[in-house]
A and B are shown apart, each in its own frame.
Chain A
Amino acid sequence: MEAADLIQVLTPQQARRLRVIENLLRGKKTVSTLYWGQRYQLLPLIGLDKTLDRGALDAAAQSLVTGGLATLDEENDQLRLTPAGVIAAQRDYYQPQMADQWIQLDLMAARQRILLAVQVVSEYTHATRRYYPLTTDLVTRQAVRAWFQRVKSAQLGKQILHVLMHALEQLPEEVATVTTSLLTGYQHPGLTREQVAQAHQRTAWEVTLMQLDGLMQICQDARVTETPFTSLLRSLWQSPVTRSAQLTLAAVRQTGDLDQVAAQRRIKLSTVREHLLEAAIFLPLSDFPYGRILTLELCQLFDKNLTGAIDDWQYTNLPNDLQQQYDFFYFRLYAIWIEKGGALVDGRTNSEP
């Protein structure tokens, strides 16, 4: 991400923490990162650049500040766009079309698998036996090898061509072009992100965003109808909620008592709470048992004491007795509930079963 990309994930209204954006990209799924990622509506960025170094966005942030496009708070962390920044951010920049779907599968693994599969099939179609395979991890190699043995046929090349055509036809021409340019296959090493970016007058990050949209379309097609890629990608579809958090959530649904769940699952109470917050962040209002945790009394008390914009709420500003009574966890969960559309209606919460 360069300054031109960073500016696109900032706003003039909401001060955004650089460290949160960095941790999202690096795939650090702490509750705090996830919570703020949701507040910034940037959760689709999760894990898109796992090799990013800590502090790697600092230079980009600094250049926005120096250019008068953004301001940084005293702690050098919270960024906010200036009026000049708002104008600068209005340039022609690629806005991902399918970002809300990205977190429905392990998109980085899907990318590795599709790219290697395309190369293998392309070389196979041209009867090449000696070529340099793309460098991937063992799991990808094994998955693609097993898949290829399963689906190998004289028709496979044609089928894959059809699948790719069909997927990319549904997208803007530029996205189709970019996605194709990055592919590797027979007598076609493929272009690097930087080369594509240069050719299209885009940033390397925009090229990545386009490629992810292109690949997401291929994945979606393989999900709704049977294509040769369906079995290659099947195991990658997943809930963004971790397996462990899902188990905790199921246990809470049954008992409603967090201490009991902690004992039963042999995890700490704090871990139970982290799991619940993670699940609440990712799931829609109706899929989380708010009513079992946020009592009516709690909601009424918080409703009375927490006013103004959610981002400005401070746990430490709550009256002491309320802090004594309710842990930070309830405060955070209440904020998520409100954000997701939870409300008090006629003295009842709208999420009660």
Chain B
Amino acid sequence: MEELTASLKRVFGFEKFRTGQAETLHDLEAGQDVLAVLPTGAGKTLIYQLYGYRHPGCVLIVSPLLSLMNDQVDRMRMAGFRRVAAINSLTGRDERQAILRHLKDYQFLFMSPEMLSQPTMLSQLRRVNLSLLVIDEAHCIVQWGPDFRPEYLLLGAIREKLGMPRTLMLTATAGKTTRQEIAHQLRCQPQVVATSVDRPNIFLDVEGVGDGNEKQARLAELVGKLPGPGIVYFSSKQLASDMALWLQSQTGKIVAAYHAGLDSDSRFKIQQQYMAGQLDLICATSAFGMGVDKNDVRYVIHYHLPADMESYAQEIGRAGRDGDPSLAVLLYAPGDEQLPLMLGQANRPTAVTVHEYYARPEAFDDADPGVHLLVFYRNHGISEEAVSRLFTRRERERNRALAQMLSYVREPQCLRQNWLKAFDEHGVHSDKCCAPKAVALDLATLGLRQTTMATGTRNETAWRDQLRQLF
């Protein structure tokens, strides 16, 4: 077989691998399962693309986000891979049938965990020669599995039913606990390829505000002063939309909202506008980011407290991928931890509900998300005790994660060291690394450079000229 670098050159035209890519490929080709913890922008996709190119059979990629999956398929096609398809709940019946008829012809197949856990789908896949199973965004197993998308917990069993194919787990952030949990759920002992989560060019800042009003005013002030493009993360779709309008009117910047509540046409256009440099700022929920290729994001602001350090690291990791100075701000008002606590509990049934459900399952409405979870577990033969234990453990885990997040907020000395500690890494504090809550942020010293924006594109061009520009 030809050298990895020769394949890299042939398929992508690159001379050198980025950190972690070659190591992961070597381990996979040596017969190892691999958990690759590589930062956003490290080129995780290239790993399985190249593996698929070098090995006969099909690479099956389990991907969490429906919108992301279609992006991935488009991107693969753009990179010259033609035999690619995605099957998820958005795939029309005819299209799904057409894909299933030609299943053996695909080189890359994207699938949601929900689709993969259907017995008929699984039996079809068992007839396919799988060269590699990829679990993309593998941290979702831990973040979402138990009380949001329990199908993730079936992946281990599914993997067994598929004959234990070589498996690559990909994520940008996973501390020791998460890594262990991923391996445990997938029933494997992977080789871990990890690079540091540290992003020295991102300046970390935590700002304490008195209340919601103060927070909003400070946000407008920051957005007004900071050079774009930027991202502000919110925990609510409605607030993301409202604040996009408000910030636009307050700062004169071009702002758009992005969240799962938008139709697919709007999501497509906003993402493209942002990548084309036509927007200064995106007001987003966590739905925005995975799969967005933009290197020059200068700042990421969190308006609400994220539920754990891993989500936070994922989201701020979207800043400064070009290596230039960038900024991550977390705005905190007393009591902000109530929201993630509430959101974390939203789906999780109480011990009493679990007991009552197992006693009389027919008396419950499946449409309720909490009950839906219980139906799932009961249908998979999991006992009441086991479910109760699972939820108790889940609650403890969430509380621990939130406490860690709060320790970051309250960190008096060095935010970077605190952050890295969450990922079992050590950092060195410098005067250019962070501004904890008690330290004021001095924007002038950060050296944030104004990215050239394709400004003026939103100026109304007469429609005739616009049409001429298209053709």
Contact = CB atoms under 8 A, between A and B. Distances in A.
Interface of A: 51, 118, 121-122, 125, 130-135, 137-139, 157-158, 160-161, 164-165, 168, 173, 176-177, 179-181, 183-195, 199
Interface string B248-271: 000000001000001111101110
A140 B37 CA distance: 38
B269 A189 contact: yes
B268 A137 contact: no
B256 A186 contact: no
A324 to B, nearest CB: 42
Contacts of A187: 276, 469
Interface stretch (B18-26, B90-98, B306-314, B366-374): B90-98
18 contacts: A51-B263, A118-B470, A132-B272, A133-B74, A135-B264, A135-B265, A139-B95, A158-B471, A160-B471, A164-B467, A165-B467, A168-B467, A181-B463, A183-B470, A185-B471, A186-B470, A188-B466, A195-B256
Contact of A184 (B92, B269, B278, B458): B269
Given A179-B463, A183-B470, 7 more contacts: A118-B470, A135-B268, A137-B95, A161-B470, A186-B470, A190-B272, A193-B266
Contacts of A184: 268-269, 272
Contact of B278 (A122, A183, A189): A189
Contacts of B263: 51
B359 interface: no
B362 interface: no
B470 A122 contact: yes
Contacts of B265: 134-135, 192-193
Contacts of B266: 192-194
Contact of B463 (A132, A180, A189): A180
B466 A180 contact: yes
Nearest to B96: A138
Interface string B147-175: 00000000000000000000000000000
B98 A132 contact: no
Contacts of A164: 467
Provide the main secondary structure of the chain B interface. helix
B78 interface: yes
Contacts of B94: 138-139
B2 interface: no
Nearest to B241: A194
B464 interface: yes
Residue of A157, A158, A160, A195 contacting most chain B CB atoms (<10 Å): A195
A224 B71 CA distance: 38
Contact of A157 (B71, B95, B98, B471): B471
Interface in B438-468: 458, 460, 462-464, 466-468
A158 B269 CA distance: 25
B70 interface: yes
B291 to A, nearest CB: 11
B468 A138 contact: no
A133 B94 CA distance: 20
A63 to B, nearest CB: 16
B74 A132 contact: yes
B117 interface: no
B467 A199 contact: no
A138 B101 CA distance: 14
B404 interface: no
B49 interface: no
Contacts of A158: 471
Contacts of A135: 70, 264-265, 268
A131 B78 contact: yes
Interface in B379-406: none
Nearest to A141: B95
A191 B95 contact: no
A138 B92 contact: yes
A177 B460 contact: yes
B273 interface: yes
Given A184-B269, A187-B276, A189-B273, A137 B470 contact: no
B471 A132 contact: no
Nearest to B75: A132
A176 B463 contact: yes
B471 A188 contact: no
Interface in B262-319: 262-266, 268-270, 272-273, 276, 278
Contacts of B469: 186-188
Nearest to B95: A138
A190 B268 CA distance: 10
A112 to B, nearest CB: 10
Contacts of A189: 268-269, 272-273, 276, 278
Given A187-B276, A195-B256, A134 B268 contact: yes
Interface in B18-71: 70-71
Given A130-B78, A180-B463, A189-B273, A125 B268 contact: no
Contact of B471 (A51, A121, A176): A121
B398 to A, nearest CB: 30
Nearest to A178: B463
Residue of B269, B273, B463 contacting most chain A CB atoms (<10 Å): B463
Contacts of A131: 78
Contacts of A191: 269, 458
A303 B365 CA distance: 50
Nearest to A199: B460
B78 A132 contact: yes
Contacts of B460: 177, 199
Nearest to A194: B266
Contacts of B92: 137-139
Contact of B470 (A139, A185, A192, A194): A185
Contacts of B95: 137-139
A165 B470 contact: no
Contacts of B78: 130-132
A138 B470 contact: no
A134 B462 CA distance: 24
Contacts of A194: 266
Contacts of A199: 460
Nearest to A51: B263
A108 B200 CA distance: 49
Contacts of B272: 132, 184, 189-190
Nearest to A123: B470
Contacts of B268: 132, 134-135, 184, 189
A342 B467 CA distance: 48
Interface string B70-95: 11001100100000000000001011
